[in-house]
Amino acid sequence: MNANIKDKAAIVGVANTEFSKNSGRSELQLAAEAVAAALDDAGLKPSDVDGITTFTMDTSDEIEVARAVGIGDLNFYSRVPHGGGAATGLIHQAVMAVATGMAETVVCYRSLNGRSGHRFSGGVSGDITTSDAIHWGWYMPYGLLTPASWVAMFTQRYMHLTNCTKDSLFEVAYTMRQHAASNPAALFYQKPFDRAEYNAQKKIVDPFQLYDCCLESDGASAVVITSTERAKDLKQPGVVIKAVAQCAAADMEVMTSFYRDEIAAIPSMDIAAQTAYSQCGLTADDIDAAIIYDAFSPIVLWQLESWGFCKHGEAHDFVMDGALRLDGRLPTNTHGGQLSEAYIHGVNGIVEATRLVRGTSVNQPGKTINHALVTAGVGVPTGGALLGTMDTL
Amino acid sequence: MNPEETQAFEEKIYAFIGRENGPPKKGHDAVNEPMIRHWAEIMGDESPVYTDSEAAINSSKGGIIAPPSMLQTWSMEGYSMAGDFVQDVQRGLHNVFDEHGYTGVLGTNTTTEFFRDLKPGDEVTAHTVIDSISEQKATARGIGYFIETVTTFTDQDGEDVGRQVFRVLKFVPADGDASASSESTDDESPAAPTRIASPRGHDNGWWWNAIDEGKMLIQRCKNCQTLRHPPRPMCGECQSIEWDSIESSMEGEVFSFTTLHYPKIPGYDYPLCCAVISLNEGTRIVSNIVGIDHEDVTIGMKVKGNIEQVDEKTMLPQFYPAQAGE
């Protein structure tokens, strides 16, 4: 079953607020600023927008953002659950709305005071009263409370079964930081590290040390999506959505899918990748650059396998060849990623993927980028999108 | 403080960066054997190179040396209550913090480098610079700033003999208690924190209730006999909602594990080893691995569980390495 969405919609505007440890203003204000800036980037007026998508986790209601920005009537609004797993889910919702005519122009946003407000590294607690409290109850009494600890459980198993070592975790974290070091918007601008500094960081959970773990930051990102027809008349070169897919694979738990036969892989992303490739006929060989969700260093490795850049279990060798670097096979996270630019739940990654296809990244690789991949957070139900230039229509 | 006030405050404190903490301070006394002997006695350090001149001459040191960790003492100004209380630059900086509510102070860490051994007769001079002040940090103690001073120690010839970096946190005590600047002297000790308990609902309460009674159960479909964990209301194999349970042997092996170091959540002991365990019955469970150094835990290791009271309020399965031969 192939969804008929290929080439129906395009990203025409993107924006981030500045990233910081203390924004000094509300998440609603950050959202409004990012949305207004993305519309400005697109050369559109707020009144052109008739659809909005965001995260269920976002504290800024669509209608509040619409009122703040001066967006008029909304014909479409939708939210995607599962934390960072929603990143490309925003595109998923927007593209379906545009492709079916439910909306003409959709703006997607994510806004969080992830450092000065609620911090994800603090983990879950007995105070939560959501419907999945019982799920967390299987882990909280033992102290398995934090995102790092959940991902570490998969990582240790993966390292046990493959030749993956700290060398490839370092290579991922190091490369992201190199990119951030030359990105003035990144929180780690001009702060590269070497292996000795990486090794000297405090232990978080085995095998992770501090630099294997993403930032916590304040900021907002927004993306404007409209039809490819309309995109041709707009200010920026449109970035076509060739494919977008999401998946919650069988026997899924939020962050703790420990009960599958094998856990050294992420089947949700494997399936989302297959779905996306079959929507548009592209293969891994067609992808020139990637934005791969990097809340923790090893999750980049698994997604490289999911998207077919290397075989399952062989990501270590792939990245040790320098594939993720600007002159490598697959320049990855050229903004610095969630590890070193900012943690805006992957929506800053959609902004950067758009720039890569436009050719305007601050770390634009030397080669032509016709197609770029952008993925959402893993461990949760997840997804990804394949973007292309207007020339690929 | 509003953003403008914060900015004005930060301008004041950051103006201290790079300033010398007054002129270099020369020690009152040269390095001398009596003070070395007092120090060695108090520290219980019986190394003969500090006190036995004959043994010291025959050692690689060629004579008595001062314990390296005495470095800072040779240039200390003495007890302030016994003499003039010097209003140096560093105290001026702390006053700025105090005036803005950052009354708490906590020495967080220090690193010292030693470039050569000090011998009786050496004269030590300390030269301190306020090297850096961090951006605002949210710490467990409260909002604050880390101040780093660097002290260079030189000898009578002006040669560097050591270097010390000292880091303190100046913070707004989180509970507004100004006495946070000294160690807590509460005579009423609060209840020890306990582990975070699972909420108990219709689908899981029975499992935790059995743990409280010392039994670890595994849910079983009454229709197709498939075991399942964690419990859920319907069998994924045959969609039956009828179920009972069996008691687990609590024997199995480590499927994966990780050891947690940071952040440290109250109620738990760190390093804390958590594992996914494949039980012999075929289901998996997450628990702790105890009774073994976490660095010795391996995937595939055989384990055996007990149900234990781990704190005042919590009964929990805990897994140990299986005894050889079991």
Residue bearing the bigger pLDDT, A4 or A386: A386
Dist CA B247 CA B234 (whole Å): 19
Burial degree of B271 (CB within 10 A; 0-12, 13-18, 19+): middle
CB–CB of B286 and A203 under 8 A? no
- CA distance linking residue B11 with residue A23, whole number of Å: 19
Cα–Cα dist B51/B62, whole Å: 13
Q: Is A343 a catalytic residue?
A: yes
Which residue among B286, B294, B299 sits closest to A139, beta carbon to beta carbon? Answer: B286
Residues on chain B touching A29 (C-beta within 8 angstroms): none
**Distance set, CA B34 to CA A40, B28, B50, B65 (Å):** 77, 14, 10, 12
Q: Could you say which of A22, A122, A152 has the minimum Cβ distance to residue B258?
A: A152
Domain with CATH 2.40.50 in chain B: 251-326
Predicted confidence (pLDDT) per residue in B174-231, tens digit: 764 444 444 444 455 667 899 999 998 888 999 999 999 999 999 999 999 999 999 9
Out of A141, A149, A203, closest to residue B196 by CB = A141
Token pair recorded at residue A358: 């436009």
CA A196 to chain CA mean position, Å: 29
Q: Tell me, yes or no, if A211 is annotated catalytic.
A: no
Decide: helix, strand or coil at residue A4: coil
pLDDT score recorded for residue A130: 53
Cβ of B276 within 8 Å of Cβ of A137? The answer is no
Q: Does residue A129 surpass a pLDDT of 70?
A: no
Name the helix (H) or strand (E) containing A99: helix A87-100
Q: Name the phi and psi angles at A358, rounded to 5.
A: -70, -25
Q: How far apart are CA A292 and CA A350, in angstroms?
A: 10
- The confidence band for A171, taking pLDDT boundaries of 50, 70 and 90, is very high
CB-based contact, A373 to chain B, within 8 Å: no
Q: Is residue B325 scored above 60 in pLDDT? A: no
Question: What is the percent of chain B with per-residue pLDDT over 70, rounded to a whole number?
Answer: 91
Q: Are A142 and B288 inside 8 Å of each other by CB? A: yes
Instruction: Report pLDDT digits (tens) over A288-342.
Output: 999 999 999 999 999 999 999 999 999 999 999 999 999 999 999 999 999 999 9
CB-nearest partner of B262 from A22, A24, A203: A203
A140/B196 touch (CB, cutoff 8 Å), yes or no: yes
Q: Does A217 touch chain B (CB under 8 A)?
A: no
Query: Tens of pLDDT along B274-309?
Result: 999 999 999 999 999 999 999 999 999 999 999 999
A262 touches chain B (CB under 8 A): no
Higher pLDDT, A17 or B174: A17
CATH architecture of B251-326: Beta Barrel (2.40)
Q: What is the pLDDT of residues B7-65, one digit of tens each?
A: 999 999 999 999 988 888 888 899 999 999 999 999 888 888 899 988 899 888 899 99
Q: Give B-chain residues touching A157 at CB under 8 angstroms.
A: 255-256, 299
Distance CA A231, CA A238 (A): 5
Structure tokens at B7: 């900015």
pLDDT confidence bin for B80, thresholds 50/70/90: low
Which residues neighbour B81 within 8 Å (Cβ) at sequence distance 6 or greater?
none
The residues facing B90 across adjacent strands are none
Interface test with B, best of A25, A134, A138, A142 (most B CBs within 10 A): A142
Nearest-CA distance B108 → chain A (Å): 15
pLDDT of residue A128: 46
What does the radius of gyration of chain A's CA atoms come to, in whole angstroms?
19
Q: Does A157 touch chain B (CB under 8 A)?
A: yes
Put simply, whether B192 touches A (Cβ < 8 Å) is: no
Mean pLDDT of A257-283: 96
Domains of chain A, CATH where assigned:
9-117+215-388 (3.40.47.10)
Residue of A nearest to B1 (CA): A24
Comparing alpha-carbon positions, the chain B residue that sits nearest to A117 is B138
**Cis status, amide bond into B199, omega within 30 of 0:** no
Q: How many CB atoms lie within 10 A of CB A28?
A: 18
CATH of B3-39+52-177, picked from 3.40.50.970, 3.40.1190.20, 3.10.129.10, 3.40.50.1100, is 3.10.129.10
| Chain B closest-CA separation from residue A359 CA (Å) | 35
State pLDDT tens for residues A73-109: 998 999 999 999 999 999 999 999 999 999 999 999 9
Rounded to an integer, what distance in angstroms lies between the CA atom of residue A359 and that of residue A351? 12
Whole-angstrom distance, CA of residue A14 vs CA of residue A334: 16
Which residues have C-beta within 8 Å of that of residue A230, sequence separation ≥ 6? A12, A104, A105
- The interface predicted TM-score (ipTM) is 0.88
d(CA A107, CA A114): 21
In angstroms, the CA A372 to CA A194 distance is 28
Least Cα separation, residue A227 to chain B (angstroms)? 42
First to last CA, chain B: 64
Q: What is the pLDDT of residues B94-138, one digit of tens each?
A: 999 999 999 999 998 899 999 999 999 999 999 999 999 999 888
- Put simply, whether A156 touches B (Cβ < 8 Å) is yes
User: Token pair of B309, please?
Assistant: 């009271």
Q: Which of B125, B32, B40 is nearest to B75 (CA)?
A: B125
Residue given tokens 């903490």 in the structure block: B21
B195–A154 CB contact, under 8 Å: no
| Beta pairing partners, A224 | A13, A107
Which residue stretches of B67-162 are H helix? Answer: 89-99
Average pLDDT, chain A: 95
Answer whether B201 touches A (CB < 8 Å): yes
pLDDT digits (tens, 9 = 90+) for A203-226: 999 999 999 999 999 999 999 999
Q: Does B195 touch chain A (CB under 8 A)?
A: yes
| Record: contact B262-A205, CB cut-off 8 A | yes
- For A260, residues 6+ apart whose C-beta sits below 8 A from its C-beta are A250, A251, A267
Q: Is B323 exposed, middle or buried (0-12, 13-18, 19+ CB in 10 A)?
A: exposed
- CB nearest to B260's CB, from A133, A137, A205: A205
Compute the average pLDDT of residues A225-243: 95
Start-end ranges of CATH 3.10.129.10 in chain B? Answer: 3-39+52-177
- Please say whether the dihedral angle defined by the alpha carbons of residues A373, A374, A376 and A382, taken in this order, is positive or negative: negative
DSSP percent split of chain B into helix, strand, coil, nearest 5: 20, 30, 45
Average pLDDT for residues A41-53, to the nearest whole number? 96
Closest partner CB to B230 (pick from A138, A145, A146): A138
CA A241/CA A225 separation, integer angstroms: 9
What number of other Cβ atoms are within 10 A of residue B136's Cβ?
A: 16
Which residues of chain B are within 8 Å of residue A116 when distances are taken between CB atoms? Answer: 138
Please tell me the distance from the alpha carbon of residue B247 to that of residue B216, in angstroms, as a whole number: 6
